Structure 1
Amino acid sequence: MRRELIAGFLPEIYQVALRPGTPLAALLAVMEGLHMPTESRLDSLDAVLDPLRGEERFVFMLADWLGLAAYLDWTGGRPGAGVASFATGTERLRLLVAEAARLWRDRGLRQTLERFLTIATGIEGIQVEDGVAGADGRIRPFHLQVLLPAEARRYAPLVARIVAAERPAHATYSIRYADPSEDQEQHAEL
């Protein structure tokens, strides 16, 4: 707060006595200096709280607070031990944190799982299909097949954790990558 504004809160007798070089003017200058750091921080508070612009450590705290900690990797080998990282990078985590409210609102939908995986990996072309036929040719009820481009294979552990946690609770799933040379599938049955 500038000293002129502070002076406006003083009783009129003090305002009349306020002159440069007086102890009162020096006191107001000190008060202005004390308020400056707080005011500058408050002026940029939106940047501090915005996951797209905030400090990296704050983004990891927000991710934990929003229930995304299961998707973080820790140098200590377990949640909370060591330093956290996100397999696809902090910028992807920032986007995921920014979209978390929408993703949680529509949780359990095929489109939401596709969106979640696309944001987390940064790879387009992810598809989630239901009503997939099994090996015997019959439709497998309550089964999802997640189809990913071959480039997503490098994030396979992250993809597996996301699909296992974000799929509808009643559904089983399989994960397939577009690379036909290594037809790798992961399953989870209820």
Structure 2
Amino acid sequence: MLPGVFQQAPQMGLRLKALLDAMEGFHAPSEAALAEVDALFDPRRTPDGFVSFLARWMDLELPVTTGLGRLRELVAAGAELSQWRGTARGLLLFLSTATGRRDFELDECVLGPDGIPRAFHICLRAPEELMPHRALLEQIIHREKPAYVTYELHFTATEAAGPSAP
């Protein structure tokens, strides 16, 4: 009682299998992408081209001249950086995450020419090797310090580790 097309069961099975195989092939790339969608949002596993997109989501549009790896680390630390924003700890954490260096010095008691501490003024000393990244450092300081605070940025030579004196 079936139409003639369906009465040819063996041939129809082959046609249907071919159609299903073709449809499965069309969906395979999408299914593969969905199986690993979590990797897109992990800054350490996402493709290189997507890192800057994640950085924009985290409000980290900076001229990160220290490399893509440092930008990945900034995005990964975004929640913690946001938590400490506007504090000395947050500023130092941001700078060390962006550069990979931990030898920044922050002086919150800067003396003026008259010997009296300057109110709302900080002095940040960075390693001399980071001088090519001055624009990055200044942009980080500007965005992380409270609006009413002024700052100075100085680069200092790092001491070479030599033999200790007896």
Q: Determine the structure 1 residue equivalent to 2:75.
A: 97
User: Which piece of structure 1 moves more, 17-26 or 115-124?
Assistant: 17-26
Q: Give the superposed CA RMSD.
A: 2.3
With structure 2 as the length reference, what TM-score do the two structures score? 0.80
Q: Which residue identity lines up with residue 61 of structure 1 in the other structure?
A: F
Q: How do 1:1-190 and structure 2 match up within 5 A?
A: 22-69=14-61, 71-72=62-63, 86-179=64-157
Aligned-pair CA distance for 1:115:
0.7
Instruction: Give the secondary structure class of the aligned counterpart of 1:92.
Output: helix
Aligned-pair CA distance for 1:162:
1.2
Instruction: Give the secondary structure class of the aligned counterpart of 1:123.
Output: coil
**Aligned partners of 2:90 and 2:60: how far apart in 1?**
15
With structure 1 as the length reference, what TM-score do the two structures score? 0.70
* Counterpart contact for 2:41–2:54, Cα < 8 Å: no
**Identical residues among aligned pairs (%):** 39
* Counterpart contact for 2:106–2:125, Cα < 8 Å: yes
1:164 to 1:28, Cα distance in 2 relative to 1, 3 A: same
**Aligned partners of 1:47 and 1:155: how far apart in 2?**
30
* Counterpart contact for 1:123–1:152, Cα < 8 Å: no
Aligned-pair CA distance for 1:118:
0.8
Aligned-pair CA distance for 1:34:
2.2
Larger radius of gyration between Structure 1 and Structure 2: 2
**Aligned partners of 2:43 and 2:10: how far apart in 1?**
45
Q: Which residue identity lines up with residue 30 of structure 1 in the other structure?
A: A
- Spell out structure 1 runs of 4+ moving beyond 6 A: 17-20
**Aligned partners of 2:123 and 2:155: how far apart in 1?**
10
**Aligned partners of 2:139 and 2:22: how far apart in 1?**
55
Aligned length: 150
1:133 to 1:31, Cα distance in 2 relative to 1, 3 A: same
Instruction: Give the secondary structure class of the aligned counterpart of 1:120.
Output: helix
Instruction: Give the secondary structure class of the aligned counterpart of 2:77.
Output: helix
